[in-house]
Amino acid sequence: MLFNSFEFIIFFPIVVAAYLILPKRIKPVWLLLSSYFFYMCWNAKYIVLILFSTLVTYLTAILIDRERPAKVRKAILACGITLNLLVLFLFKYFDFFLSNISHITEKIGMGSLSNPFSFVLPVGISFYTFQAVGYVIDVYRGDVKAEKNIINYALFVSFFPQLVAGPIERSKNLLTQIKSIREKNLFSYDSMVSGFGLMLWGMLLKTMIADRAAVFVDNIFSTYSMYGTVELVFGALLFTLQIYADFSGYSAIAIGAARVMGINLCTNFNTPYFATSIADFWARWHISLSTWFKDYVYIPLGGNRKGKVRKYINLIITFLVSGLWHGASWNYVAWGLLHGLYRVIGEVTGSIRAKAYDALHVKKDVFSYNLLKRLITFVLVAFAWIFFRARSLKVAVGYIHRMFTRFNPWALFDESLFLHGLDRREFAILAYMIALLLIVSFLTYKKKQDVGVLLAEQNLWFRWTVYVAVIVGVLVFGEYGVNFESAKFIYFDF
Amino acid sequence: MKLIKNQKLGNTVKFIAFIILLSIIILSVYNVLKWKDTTGDYCSSIEQLYNTDKDLIDVVFVGSSHVYCGIYPSILWEKSGISAFDMSVSGQDKYSAYHQIKELLKTQSPKVIFVDIYGLFSDKHDSEGNLYRNLLSMKTSKNSIDLVNDYFEDNEGDKSNFFYRWPIIHTRYKELSRYDFRNNKLNSILRGERIGFNTGSDISPILQFDFDPAELSDKNIAWLNSLYDLSVQKGFKLVLMKTPINGGPFFQSIMDAASQYAESKNIDFIDFNRMADELCLDMGSDFIDGNHVNAYGAAKVTGYLNDYINTNFSLADHRGDSRYHQWDEDLKYYNHEEFLNNLQYVNDLHDLHEALSSEAGADFLAIISVENTDSIINLSHDTCEKLSEFGMAYSEITEGGKWLYSGNTLTKLLDNDSSEGIKCIDLNEFDSLCVRFSGDGSLGNIVIGNDDYSNQDVYVNIVIYDNYLYETAMQKKY
């Protein structure tokens, strides 16, 4: 069940209405059943994987939480994590792993290997696996106590708003709130209003920007060898907007849906394209994953505590793993590596750049300096997204090569840009929506509040006008329905 | 405590008010975007059914375009005062036929229902447009949901799109036009037929085949049985028929099988293909194409049905009964179309004046423009004489100008040497007429809506505007 589907429009109010009416002790059970139903709408049998992950990490945490020798606790932790990651490996990475081995065995004349398993990637497996693993590590570290109530814990792993594409929640935040459902009324009218506004904003981002841009992007990337610099640059730039609108839109709906029920999920995006450096970008993009990697990969590797060289190596490793997390393919690895290199190069050249600026008397506290930094960061990120969007590393390289070698500036003027799925009217709608995104991003950046909160603060007439305009706008101008196939959220595949 | 209670109450009221407001707005937007076409050009027989007053229809003809092109309720009304209705939708499939009858039976109690068996020839729609026409035109109800379920039980596709409708109709924002915002008056006037006088060319004759009847499929037998059961249950007389179609031996063998089925159930069956000679159906003058008769063919087919109904059923003659005024309107429209068809062959200015001055001509406006007056000598005395019949003085004609002729009244709009610049008048709620003189033959001298009807290279230009249908009917140049 997609957030931007009519099924969800029916499902969600029913869940919320029953959640409000039911006695407190039943509420977690109701949310758990609703979450399982939500997940099973995709593939009922894969619920087994969630149950397995839930049970393994639940027992692991309880076993760790008892007083035992450190070695035993470590061994239990290792077993629990390994079992979880094994499932992830089997379903997500085994085919990639085997095809690479097979490539090698073919080269050395041993023939190819066939995959005995043929699975469809379970939706959201990377998200709930990481959430569950994070919880076990938190218990091991003593940051949280092991949850004894299986319903509470199962709901923590499978809470439907964030089950399939995050945010990847920490037990300190989400589990604590779930535990309190039985004790106090989390719901409030204000949170409902704010959550509803945020959900609408997410719907707008998804259906009006992401899915509209996708029409152009899909056309360009699928037949990139037909185009020149202008189309390919537009393709890359629109994908940069598409993936942001798609994923931040999903996160907004997820956070908003949870907030309607009085549950606060962590912030996942904070105007990432306003970032002034790659480090700043990663502090604003998919924050729940970035902090997960920081806490559970980068810092355990030593972080910046073991010298500069080791820090750079740790950064590269973390970004490589992050790339692999996004997909079992070399183009994702390349994307991660590129971001790792951006970070390392940024660190290495930091002092040199600072000296150069001083020597050239570059003013740093002016608008133009910040704008340039933001633009450079945006271009670097957009360039890296080419690797992310391409079907393979080969396609990414081919795309970039063509982008730099087939200069066709006339395409900006001969209207050929309107021939790739978006006509003039569709382009105009997309342009208006991007302008709206820019304005709203600027407001949220300045006010340090999300759209839902900003809207909830407004007078009733304004709020209602915005709600109605967005709902009608999405219903009429949103990309969905019979002639539209790519409605799935991009991050469901990770 | 009381404060909290009041706050809760206030929030609940706000919530309900918002839901009501949102529902009203969404419903309004839905009405703009919804599917409004069953026969083309924003004409919908389903809308026409909804616009028909309750319990007035005595005879129903159910079928596809073959029915709305071939059977005119207006003719039955004119001849015998029979209140008939064409429950016909382009490409009507068997599932739609059954459920559209059920929809009609919600408000009407017909004595006889004729069902065209075209549905037997196919189980699914090849045309997306016809699928939408059939599955999206009824109001949402259990019946419309049953139709979608029945259709997709036997056909592939995402039926949820047809339940929610928005996934299909929302893209119509790209094609919205006047009748999405205002009702097409034909949906109030017509009783299902689609009148057309145009004649096709090179149409092969309907051949007679005498092969063995085909075997009806289980689905087809089930469909015919469901119609028969419905007729027994609802107490109407069922008649099966096939309007003329140039289908070849396969079609004829199916029709013969349907005929056998009808005989076994004691149902009348009318095969117009077998009666093509008896009705003197002429492929050269009575058909639009091989599968659809035109108004001349429809007159013959409907004439036969009129006799058949009068012979087999004693139905009341409702002419003169004010409750049936909608059939009077229907007939008026038929006459209007007939007049319009004849008008296109009128070229002589005198005859044109006569036609426009007649009672039927009152529905038309004529915008008369005379230009190129410097060389008016080229305009014959005869033409000027005939033009003056509209009411303009000979001297005015030679000076040139723009006039509006309507209901036997001539109004001067603009002199060619006028300093007025431009003169605009609203013809109706949709179209405005603007005239000006920017030089002989200049573009933009006569504009209706967004269309230019300027003289260009002619002396006398008469634009005939149909103020009954709100569209430009034709242009005559002299």
Three-state helix/strand/coil letters over chain B: CHHHHHHHHHHHHHHHHHHHHHHHHHHHHHHHHCCCCCCECCECHHHHHHCCCCCCCCEEEEECHHHHHHCCHHHHHHHHCCCEEEEECCCCCHHHHHHHHHHHHCCCCCCEEEEEHHHHHCCCCCCHHHHHHHHCCCCCCHHHHHHHHHHHHHCCCCCHHHHHCHHHHHHHHHCCCHHHHCCCCHHHHCCCCCCCCCCCCCCCCCCCCCCCCCCCCHHHHHHHHHHHHHHHHHCCEEEEEECCCCCCHHHHHHHHHHHHHHHHCCCEEEECCCCCCCCCCCCCCCEEECCEECHHHHHHHHHHHHHHHHHHCCCCCCCCCHHHHHHHHHHHHHHHHHHHHHHCCCCCHHHHHHHHHCCHHHHEEEEEEECCHHHHHHCCHHHHHHHHCCCCCHHHHHHCEEEEEECCEEEEEEECCCCCCEEEEECCCCCEEEEECCCCCCCCCEEECCEECCCCCCCEEEEEEECCCCEEEEEEEC
What is the pLDDT at residue A322? 93
> Is pLDDT at B386 greater than 90 in this prediction?
no
Alpha helices in A294-329 (DSSP H): 308-326
Q: How many Cβ atoms are within 10 Å of B425's Cβ, its own excluded?
A: 12
Asked if B273 contacts B245 with a C-beta cutoff of 8 angstroms, the reply is: yes
User: Nearest-CA distance from A119 to chain B in Å?
Assistant: 25
What is the pLDDT at residue A385? 96
> Is pLDDT at B376 greater than 70 in this prediction?
no
Question: What SS3 state is found at A482?
Answer: coil
CA–CA distance, A321 with A344 (Å, rounded to integer): 16
Q: What residues of A are annotated to the active site?
A: 326
B-facing residues of A in 102-121 (CB < 8 A) are none
- Say if B16 is an interface residue toward chain A (CB within 8 Å): no
Closest Cα in chain B to A193? B15
> Is pLDDT at A112 greater than 60 in this prediction?
yes
CA–CA distance, A333 with A289 (Å, rounded to integer): 16
Task: Name the residue with higher pLDDT: A152 or A114.
Answer: A152
- A311's CB contacts (< 8 A; 6+ apart) are A302, A303, A304, A347
B26, A480: Cβ pair inside 8 Å? no
> Is pLDDT at B250 greater than 80 in this prediction?
yes
- B96's CB contacts (< 8 A; 6+ apart) are B89, B134, B135, B147, B151
What is the pLDDT at residue B51? 95
- A456's CB contacts (< 8 A; 6+ apart) are A190, A193, A194, A197, A463
Tens digit of pLDDT for each residue in A346-356? 999 988 988 99
Beta carbon pairs, A and B, within 8 Å:
47
Q: Nearest by CB to A482, which of B14, B168, B174?
A: B168
CA–CA distance, B35 with B134 (Å, rounded to integer): 10
Tell me the pTM: 0.86
CA–CA distance, B452 with B435 (Å, rounded to integer): 10
- Say if B174 is an interface residue toward chain A (CB within 8 Å): yes
What is the pLDDT at residue B45? 95
Long-range contacts of residues A435-441, Cβ cutoff 8 Å, at least 24 apart: A437/A205, A437/A209, A437/A241, A437/A245, A440/A201, A441/A271, A441/A273, A441/A274
> Is pLDDT at B440 greater than 90 in this prediction?
no
Tens digit of pLDDT for each residue in A383-393? 999 999 998 99
CA–CA distance, A314 with B167 (Å, rounded to integer): 48
Which amino acid type is present at position B196? G
Determine the distance from the C-alpha atom of residue A361 to the mean position of all C-alpha atoms in its chain, rounded to a whole number.
Answer: 40
- Say if A413 is an interface residue toward chain B (CB within 8 Å): no
Residues in chain A: 494
A-facing residues of B in 246-305 (CB < 8 A) are none
Over residues B455-469, mean pLDDT: 89
DSSP A485: -
Domain residue spans in chain A? 6-185, 191-493
- Say if B9 is an interface residue toward chain A (CB within 8 Å): no
Residue among B27, B148, B170 with most chain A CBs within 10 A, to mutate = B170
DSSP A273: G
Task: Name the residue with higher pLDDT: B2 or B75.
Answer: B75
B161, A481: Cβ pair inside 8 Å? yes
CA–CA distance, A249 with A200 (Å, rounded to integer): 9
B-facing residues of A in 1-40 (CB < 8 A) are 6-7
- B228's CB contacts (< 8 A; 6+ apart) are B238, B265, B267
Residue among A10, A192, A459, A476 with most chain B CBs within 10 A, to mutate = A476
Residues in chain B: 478
3-state DSSP percent of chain A in helix, strand and coil, to 5: 75, 0, 25
CATH superfamily of B35-337: SGNH hydrolase (3.40.50.1110)
Farthest CA pair distance, chain B: 96
Domain residue spans in chain B? 1-33, 35-337, 348-477
Residues of B in contact with A456 (CB under 8 A): none
What tokens appear for B476 in the block? 């005559």
Average the pLDDT over each of A176-180, A318-322, A327-331, B48-52 and give the range with the smallest value: A327-331
- B48's CB contacts (< 8 A; 6+ apart) are B85, B187, B188, B190, B191, B192
Tell the residue number behind the tokens 């094994």, with chain if given: A86
Question: Could you give phi then psi for residue A116, rounded to 5 degrees?
Answer: -70, -20
Residue among A482, A483, A484 with most chain B CBs within 10 A, to mutate = A482
Peptide bond into B73 cis (omega under 30): no
* Pairing of the two strands B460-466 and B451-452: unpaired
What tokens appear for A149 in the block? 């109530």
The closest of B238, B200, B186 to B74, measured between CA atoms, is: B186
The closest of A437, A33, A21, A30 to A213, measured between CA atoms, is: A437
Residues of A in contact with B21 (CB under 8 A): 464, 468
Q: Nearest by CB to B33, which of A7, A476, A483?
A: A476
Asked if B268 contacts B239 with a C-beta cutoff of 8 angstroms, the reply is: yes
Residues of B in contact with A471 (CB under 8 A): 22, 26
Which amino acid type is present at position B297? G
CA–CA distance, A335 with A330 (Å, rounded to integer): 8
Which residues partner with B425 through β-bridges?
A: B433
> Is pLDDT at B397 greater than 90 in this prediction?
no
Over residues B55-74, mean pLDDT: 96
Tens digit of pLDDT for each residue in A20-45? 999 989 999 999 999 999 999 988 88
Percent of chain B with pLDDT over 90: 63
| ipTM of model | 0.83
Q: What is the mean pLDDT of chain B?
A: 90
What is the pLDDT at residue A184? 82
Over residues A447-454, mean pLDDT: 92
Q: What is the mean pLDDT of chain A?
A: 90
What is the pLDDT at residue A101? 84
What is the pLDDT at residue B108? 96
- B201's CB contacts (< 8 A; 6+ apart) are none
